[in-house]
């Protein structure tokens, strides 16, 4: 019987999210290697008891569970926390054969901003009684732009190589590659260019809504 992987996507943007782009790339890579692959959205499970029940059933049958999500206030999005809590409540028996890994996509250039979120997933894995294969944060992940990973190779060969290494580690059901972690220990795009483009985008949005000075402070008078 072929091994199976279920990736839980924690972004409210669903199929237009960077998290989906990452998960779909891993899914396609493992599918070519003979894996049974599946994706589910935490926000849909959070809003539907029926979908939540389906997610619980699929996690119980998966060899590996991937948790891929955007960084929210240095931590895990609330609906995803709720889903992970429910998974623990329905999974009390230890299963050392089952494995969990995590990938955090973030707008910050510095990957270390994801450390707390990864610690939360590590703790979830302990309470879920599975084995943690590790995880990493992707700094400057905004350059993905919700596009398929195959289409952004010109933007970040570093990210593509790290994900390819991740696919190989998962295929062997081993801890995530140290080389992949080293590749992602730095932003996946030039930090100076990323900040420049980011500031341009903020100014464009501000102008669209009639804001001329992003540094203007509210009137302090009572």
Residue ranges per structural domain of the chain? 4-188
Residues listed for the chain: 222
In this prediction, residue 208 carries a pLDDT of: 84
Q: What is the average per-residue pLDDT within 131-153?
A: 92
Q: Residue 1: count other Cβ atoms within 10 Å of its Cβ.
A: 5
Report strand pairing: 99-105 vs 4-9: unpaired
**How confident is the model over 179-215, as pLDDT tens digits?**
999 999 988 877 776 777 667 777 788 888 888 777 7
Closest by Cα among 71, 66, 78, 39 to 55: 39
Task: Provide the mean pLDDT of the chain.
Answer: 90
On the question of pLDDT at 163 being above 60, the answer is yes
The predicted model gives 153-170 an average pLDDT of 92
What backbone torsions phi and psi does residue 7 show, to the nearest 5 degrees?
-110, 125
Phi, psi of 139 (to 5 degrees): -80, 140
C-beta of residue 118 within 8 angstroms of C-beta of residue 136: yes
Q: Which candidate, 96, 74, 83, 99, places its Cα nearest to that of 51?
A: 83
* pLDDT attached to residue 222: 43
99-105: strand order across its sheet: 36-41, 4-9, 64-70, 99-105, 131-138
pLDDT of residue 200: 72
**What pTM does this model have?**
0.89
pLDDT at residue number 111 = 92
Mean pLDDT of the region 96-121: 93
Helix, strand or coil, per DSSP, at residue 199: helix
**Does domain 4-188 match CATH 3.40.50.360?**
yes
């Amino acid at each position: 019987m072929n091994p199976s992987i279920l990736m839980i996507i924690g972004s409210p943007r669903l199929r237009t999210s960077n998290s989906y782009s990452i998960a779909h790339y891993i899914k396609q890579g493992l599918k070519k290697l003979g894996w049974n692959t599946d994706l589910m959205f935490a926000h849909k499970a959070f809003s539907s008891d029926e979908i939540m029940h389906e997610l619980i059933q699929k996690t119980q049958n998966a060899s590996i569970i991937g948790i891929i999500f955007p960084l929210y206030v240095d931590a895990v999005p609330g609906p995803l926390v709720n889903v992970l809590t429910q998974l623990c409540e329905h999974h009390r028996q230890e299963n050392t054969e089952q494995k969990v890994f995590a990938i955090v996509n973030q707008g910050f250039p510095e990957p270390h901003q994801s450390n707390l979120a990864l610690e939360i997933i590590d703790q979830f894995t302990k309470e879920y009684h599975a084995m943690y294969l590790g995880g990493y944060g992707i700094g400057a992940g905004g350059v993905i732009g919700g596009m398929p990973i195959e289409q952004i190779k010109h933007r970040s060969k570093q990210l593509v190589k790290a994900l390819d290494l991740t696919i190989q580690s998962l295929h062997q059901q081993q801890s995530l590659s140290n080389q992949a972690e080293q590749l992602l220990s730095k932003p996946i795009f030039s930090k100076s260019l990323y900040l420049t483009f980011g500031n341009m985008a903020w100014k464009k949005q501000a102008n669209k809504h009639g804001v001329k000075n992003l540094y203007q402070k509210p009137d302090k008078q009572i």
